[in-house]
Structure 1
Amino acid sequence: MTLGKSGRRATRARARERYTVGEIVVMAVLAVLTLVISFPVLYALLNSFRTYADITRDPMGLPTSFNLDNYTKLFERTDFGEAILNTLIITVGTIVLLLLLVPMAAYGIERIGGRTSRWIYILFIAGLMIPFQVRMIPLVKGMNEVGLYGTLTSVILVHLGGSASFGVLLYCSFIKGVPVEIEEAAHVDGAGRIRTFWWIVFPMLLPVTSAFLITQALGLWNDFFIPLVFLDSSSAGTINVAISRMVGLLTSEWQIIYTGAILAIIPSVAIFAAFQRYFVKGMSVGAVKG
């Protein structure tokens, strides 16, 4: 049945009454924050389709055409393709090692127990309290002595050591909530500790695993300081290092710098958009367990 004008007005009035003053204020603040955060990205995206002359003549103007010339020039004039490959290797390599080592380390600390396990747990937590700047010089010296300085392996190992502490803390809190009776039933059926962990316990940790891997992947992809320190100038570096070098080498071609910035942002946005559901689920489960 079709509503009349009075019925439609009443429906709109009820819809307006659903929002309180506090909700309206929150929505307004969120809208302002969204605008502030998205403006630099939108500005870089629009300027990636403009020429340098257009940018200098009218920095806030709009592109007159949408072509991919700047994206082509980016890969022709710089080592941005190699930088993308280096970033991908570092991100994937570190994530795989974290996934293989950190959950098992946390499981051993929680299930084996004893004074030794407590001391190991304390050492992991202490790693969270020591800033990277304090460890930087000894790490650079150590990597140089073993011949790893300037290689992607050194960056992966430094990231692994820095992320392991947070990962152990996160996984330990979740493993405490896993019933021991399930593992005991697996032992009765003849499963060893490693098989029990990977086949019984680890599938129950998928919410925290998804949240942990997403946050780490985003951090690794966007990291700037560690690759800058541990990769020398002979390497193309990672994406953010390559962009920082463009500012010095291509100061007359800001449109290419904006293009590199957009290409650096796209994977992060895609990863979070694709796995946002799992990230939110993992964080909410963590809040309940905490």
Structure 2
Amino acid sequence: MSATTVSSKAIRASKKKDKKVKEKFTLGEGVCMLVTAVLFCIVAFPVFYAFLQSFRTYAEITIDPMGMPTVWHWENYVRLFQDTDFLGATFNTLFITVISLAILIIILPMAAYGVERIGGKASGFLYLLFLSGLMIPFQVRMIPLVRMFNAIGIYGDLWAVILVHLGGAAGFGILLYCSFLKGVPVSLEEAASLDGAGRLRIFWQIVFPMLMPVTSAFVITNALSFWNDFFIPLVMLDASSAGTINVAINRMVGLLTSQWELIYAGAIISLIPSLIIFAAFQRYFIKGMAVGAVKG
């Protein structure tokens, strides 16, 4: 058998193998696309439904809940702010989200740096102490927190919600930052220390800039969580407060009648910031989570 014959058979076998691999890949790709399309429809349908219903009247919604708007009532969005304290609820939600994130961004990276670099023999204990917060759900801490906040006079205040958010996010933040810091070379800090830089200067000028990818992922995740939170503000804010967006929407649901057109309008408005945040910072979120996973 000549070398040419063997070579041609090998080429044909290689082509058949490549064709099978390509067919398998195409089939798998098709299945993935189908599953993605189904999941997209499941997630998008409630949003699309709420958007359409927000332009209908109360009578139209109650008579035909699945109907389409015959006349687009844009005044529903105006009534939402005129007839309810939705503007105050929006401000409260924005205040809670921004202040909580600002405090977390300042404190958590420094705390993780202290645990990972300065903690010494106590670093393991401190790490587990922070992570223990992840194991205790808010429902378990709820009654003691309400009693404590009521005793010190901040129950019903926005700062009560902020403090609960800080405690709830600390464990995940320490886990994320410590995992990332394990992959940051210590040699850079040692070189800066030899040049006379102190701990704070080393952290803010050398370490913190390297933490930006994981910080982006942490900020986006918690921004969406704080903005969309319902249960914590419901428990920590009293009825005299405007509440947050989701609490304000919940108050529109009555025992006998509900302002469905305003509820749907409020739901759509509450979605807009979340969509903008994720659309604008999606690549930073994915990059940060990927880098954090690799470093960990």
Structure 2 residues without counterparts, runs of 5 or longer: 1-21
Aligned AA (1:34) = F
The 1:241–1:252 alpha-carbon spacing in structure 2 relative to 1, beyond 3 Å, is: closer
Alpha-carbon distance in 2 for matches of 1:231, 1:201:
38
What residue is the counterpart of 1:241 in the other structure?
A: 247
Q: Any conservation in 1 of the 2:252–2:258 contact (CA below 8 Å)?
A: no
The 1:249–1:82 alpha-carbon spacing in structure 2 relative to 1, beyond 3 Å, is: farther
Secondary structure of the structure 1 residue equivalent to 2:253: helix
Q: CA RMSD in A?
A: 1.6
1:29 partnered with 2:35: yes
1:267 to 268, 273, 276: 273
1:178 partnered with 2:181: no
Q: Any conservation in 1 of the 2:57–2:73 contact (CA below 8 Å)?
A: no
What residue is the counterpart of 2:218 in the other structure?
A: 212
TM-score, normalization: structure 1? 0.91
| Residue pairs, 1:1-290, within 5 angstroms | 20-248=26-254, 251-290=257-296
Secondary structure of the structure 1 residue equivalent to 2:92: helix
Alpha-carbon distance in 1 for matches of 2:256, 2:72:
22
TM-score, normalization: structure 2? 0.89
Cα deviation 1:24-56 (Å, max 9, x = unaligned):
111111111101110000000011111112222
Structure with bigger gyration radius: 2
Alpha-carbon distance in 2 for matches of 1:249, 1:264:
23
Structure 1 residues without counterparts, runs of 5 or longer: 1-15
The 1:278–1:266 alpha-carbon spacing in structure 2 relative to 1, beyond 3 Å, is: same
- Percent identical pairs in the alignment equals 67
Alpha-carbon distance in 1 for matches of 2:267, 2:61:
16
Alpha-carbon distance in 2 for matches of 1:57, 1:244:
22
Aligned AA (1:141) = R
